[in-house]
Amino acid sequence: MLAFIRAAEHGSFSAAARAGHLTPSAVSKLISRLEDRLQVRLFVRSSRALLLTEEGAAYLKSALAVVDAMSEADSLAERLPTRVSGMLRVHTMTTFAKHQIMPWLPEFLATYPLLDLDIQLGPQYIDLFEQGVDVAIHSGFLPDSSRVAQRLNDNEWIVCASPEYLARQAPLLHPQDLLEHQCFGFSFDSQWSAWSFRENGRLIKVPFRSRTSFSQGDLLRDLALQGAGVVKLAGFHIGEDIRQGRLVPVLSEFYIGTKESVSLIYANRKYLSPRIKVFNDFLSSRVKGLCWTIT
């Protein structure tokens, strides 16, 4: 039916084939099959033009009505998001799940009552799509792959401490002063573990010794909030603490100023699952406009 409509609109099988990404012979066979089923001739074929017969003109009117009805049905389905169902498997950082997903998750589950979520947690991006993961949310520089990464927001890693800690310690005026302070970091190697700064175009790396390290950022945050020392954590993790004054950025004038993206990653852009689509839309609407940087 669509091949017939395109042929009628474009006036030739070749043009209909280009519009439908088919070959002219395929279009011709489809229309011949349609004519055989209807037992009428729909076109008068000639070397110069393709003309509708009287029956073809009548059928075109009905075919267009059917296609319009199908489009309306698809549109109606899109307006019924609660019908989205099944299991959506998400892999993300623990801190992102706690601070950026949990606040709106009850609303999401109430909006899509037939959709179940399996949220798997890990500090670093691992390609688990072959093991059934539908969506990954991670920050930083992702390895080159065939996966699709969609930027959600910009993030910055912030060196900070509590006002109470800073009030009782020597001032932090230069990155090297960190060597005289109690600092805490991650227990695994990553781009976030290095505390690098810039002074007059020169890169400064501070080789501090972390007296206590964790593989989970929320425990580092807890130490900082208790006034134990200095930490370096993601803006999406501690942004609210900074806005509320519970944590204070330090050495900001020495920041490198490199922003990284927090990305939503999925296996393939084509035929995106409705489960992924509604989760993506919900997440994007919640993080849009949030400030996860200070420079």
Q: Can you read off the two tokens belonging to residue 251?
A: 């050495």
Amino acid at site 81:
P
288 burial level (CB within 10 Å; 0-12, 13-18, 19+) = exposed
Kindly report the backbone phi and psi dihedral angles of residue 267, in degrees, each rounded to the nearest multiple of 5, phi listed first.
-70, -40
Cα Rg of the chain, angstroms = 29
Residue ranges of the chain assigned to CATH 1.10.10.10: 2-78
List, for residues 186-227, the tens digit of each pLDDT value: 887 766 667 889 998 899 888 877 878 888 889 999 999 999
**Dist. CA 275–CA 88, nearest whole Å:** 6
List, for residues 13-23, the tens digit of each pLDDT value: 888 888 888 89
Q: Would you state the pLDDT for residue 78? A: 54
Tell me if 258 sits within 8 A of 194, measured CB to CB. no
Comparing CA positions, the residue from 132, 81, 133 lying closest to residue 265 is: 133
The confidence band for 133, taking pLDDT boundaries of 50, 70 and 90, is confident
The strand pair at 196-199 and 202-205 is best described as: antiparallel
* Direct distance between the N- and C-terminal alpha carbons of the chain, in angstroms, rounded to an integer: 58
Q: How many CB atoms lie within 10 A of CB 240?
A: 13
Comparing CA positions, the residue from 224, 232, 236 lying closest to residue 101 is: 236
**Dist. CA 207–CA 222, nearest whole Å:** 23
For domain 2-78, give the fold: Arc Repressor Mutant, subunit A (1.10.10)
Comparing CA positions, the residue from 97, 118, 141 lying closest to residue 236 is: 97
Residue ranges of the chain assigned to CATH 3.40.190.10: 81-155+260-287, 157-254
Contacts by residues 42-48 (CB-CB < 8 Å, ≥ 24 positions apart): 42/4, 43/7, 43/8
pLDDT-above-90 percentage for the chain: 50
Contacting residues for 149 by C-beta, under 8 A, at least 6 apart:
142, 261, 263, 264, 265
Q: Would you state the pLDDT for residue 211? A: 79
Q: Would you state the pLDDT for residue 32? A: 92
Q: CATH number for 81-155+260-287: choose from 3.30.450.20, 3.90.1410.10, 3.40.50.620, 3.40.190.10.
A: 3.40.190.10
Please give the distance of CA 162 from its chain centroid, rounded to a whole number. 32
The confidence band for 162, taking pLDDT boundaries of 50, 70 and 90, is very high
Tracing tokens 């310690």 back to the chain, one arrives at 169
The H or E element spanning position 248 is strand 248-249
User: Which CATH superfamily is 157-254 part of?
Assistant: Periplasmic binding protein-like II (3.40.190.10)
Tracing tokens 């008068």 back to the chain, one arrives at 44
